[in-house]
Chain A
């Protein structure tokens, strides 16, 4: 009977609505995934059956180890992450709170979109090129024998063209659209409400009296 062992610096990372109870839940989940080690590696995510279905499973797991998401100065991929890093990634999926003001909401939204942007931009150069976009589409459609590679390509090309038209307007015949930068990305998602779609909300589990 005592306070569970959650590392102290963690609580400073997460402001607002993440309670210590939720941190405990996540800590337990972390220990389950890491099999009681202090860090998680990519292989540990293999033990989740629900995740097997997900076509972009690779990208999601990758996102956990992406140093840009971990707010580290350097670039590239980390080999393993500890509980603090795990919580940092989880914080991208915080639901919005009632008491947020305009500026906070805006920052919130930008963070979530940045997370998504990193998922597309696999070579970390700050731009989503046609090839990178094609990769994502192919992954989403992977494993289905009925769809050929050509279809995946045409989808990607079509989407890229639309992106170009939104961001750059009419292009001249000799202009080449290099790739979607983060600003363009933000422009594309203006007006679409993603904050309510990209979050995981915890349920409140209190002690209640059992009466027989």
Chain B
């Protein structure tokens, strides 16, 4: 009996601490500096670990070309097809062409640009998490001890804390938005709904130990606009709503997600589509267009890639979002993988194990850049506009641009795409006078 009482006391004290140190500051939008202190300790530890790893590394290898980021493991020759084939040119059509394709084929087999983007980015130095320890071998006792301490801290202290916060955050979101939803439509309701959304977002960000730096806040999306961003994980939405209110767009889910969706839509005009409606593109575009036309409604948030990419590149943007019209506010999100990998590899992990991994990482550190608004030009079609926005986002976030479709995660290359490439090659042959 006394044990239960003692546990109850501890539990109450724990909740009071959490409430006082985290929830209240979130509601008020101020920071007590605890996360900053935590990050400082973390950075120092990781620096120390890296230096120890370097000391323990084997003697230097023969000189080979270096790269600052691990964006690829082989050196790619970027000479365009034409130039390369003409260099080997001897007579009209020769064995030379086969070299080019042979090499390209081998490069693709060793490492292809697309599949690489659907697995987590490789780190240049170990960050004391077991899951990233692919390349690194046993170095020293001290490092192992630090790693063990890290495991204890992460699983026994941080995980329960984060879990509590997440539970509180989600609960208050549901309760808060349902309560606000009862009020009649008007300025008061909008204001309260914003407060509730912001507070819950802040609590959830703290639940992930998120450190987010926002740049160029003057370009923040305005009402009646469309906000587009690159997609790395489901957390992206929380990262963005931490700094402003958006109307979310998405499919209706079941379960806990469905409850949240139904609650929030009462307070704020989010756009949730039924599964059947999603198939009808015109319906989707029509509804979004209506929303955007109403200048008093919050900006909508869309992720045009359609799927999660591993944050080293930006893949093809689906043109649907760019056909709606209105002003586009691009946002670039870049996570720092050193502290925790935010990428959701949906073919490898389900949402629950993903959230568990996130909650047992060190922290989620990211930079968010608000880019100046863009509008579609007269002579541009939706696809060109989409590419223009994509380039801006890629350039700002330091990501590479790939013309590939994120759908390749699950499907094969479309035939139309293949034929383009083959046409290019044959056009070149005809031009060189090899044929006809």
Physical interaction between A and B:
yes
Q: Which residues of A contact B (CB under 8 A)?
A: 1-4, 17, 19, 21-22, 24-26, 28-29, 32-33, 45-57, 60, 90, 93, 116, 119, 136-137, 140-144, 146-147, 151, 154-155, 158-159, 162, 188-189, 192, 194, 197-212
Which 6 A-B pairs have CB atoms at the shortest separation, nearest pair first?
A50-B108, A144-B426, A50-B112, A60-B105, A204-B64, A52-B413
Tell whether, in the assembled complex, residue B425 and residue A55 are in contact, meaning their CB atoms are under 8 Å apart.
Answer: yes
- B91 engages A200 (CB within 8 Å): no
Interface residues of B in 312-347 (CB under 8 A from A): 338
CB distance from B390 to the nearest CB of A (A): 19
A11 to B306, CA, bound (A): 43
Q: Chain B residues near A53: list those with CB within 8 A.
A: 413, 418, 421-422
Find chain B residues with CB under 8 A from A158 CB: 91-93
Chain B residue nearest to A54 in the complex (CB): B105
CA separation between A65 and B151, bound complex, in Å?
45
Q: How far is the CA of A4 from the CA of B136 in the complex (A)?
A: 9
Q: What residues of A have a CB within 8 angstroms of the CB of B93 in the complex?
A: 137, 155, 158-159
**Is A3 touching B109 in the complex (CB atoms < 8 A)?**
no
Instruction: Assess whether B43 is interfacial by the CB under 8 Å rule.
Output: yes
Q: Least Cβ distance of B433 to chain A in Å?
A: 11
Is B430 part of the contact surface with A, judged by Cβ < 8 Å?
yes
* Distance A207 CA – B75 CA, assembled complex (angstroms): 18
Q: Which of B17-25, B95-103, B190-198 contacts A (4 or more CB under 8 A)?
A: B95-103
State whether B46 touches A141 (Cβ < 8 A). Answer: no
Chain B residues at the A interface, C-beta cutoff of 8 Å: 43, 46-47, 50-51, 53-54, 57, 61-67, 70, 72-75, 88, 90-95, 97-99, 101-115, 119, 124-126, 130, 133-138, 144, 147, 338, 404, 408, 412-413, 418-419, 421-423, 425-426, 429-430, 434-436
Query: In the complex the two chains form, what is the Cα distance from A199 to B422 in whole Å?
Result: 23
Selected from B66, B114, B115, the residue in CB contact (under 8 A) with A203 is B66
A-side contacts of B413, CB under 8 Å: 49, 52-53
Contact A143 B134 (CB under 8 A): no
A206 CA to B63 CA, complexed, in Å: 12
- Which of chain B's residues have a CB closer than 8 A to the CB of A189? 95
Inter-chain CA distance A151–B92, complex, in Å, is 12
Interface centre among B62, B65, B108, B147, by most chain A C-beta atoms within 10 angstroms, is B108
Q: Which of B101, B115, B137 contacts A140 (CB 8 A)?
A: B101
C-alpha spacing A13/B72, complex, angstroms: 25
In the bound assembly, the distance between CA atoms of A117 and B156 in angstroms comes to 62
Shortest A176–chain B CB gap in Å is 22
For the complex, what is the distance from the CA of A163 to the CA of B370, rounded to whole Å?
61
| Set of chain B residues within 8 Å of A142, measured between Cβ atoms | 422
Quick check: B73 and A207 within 8 Å, CB to CB? no
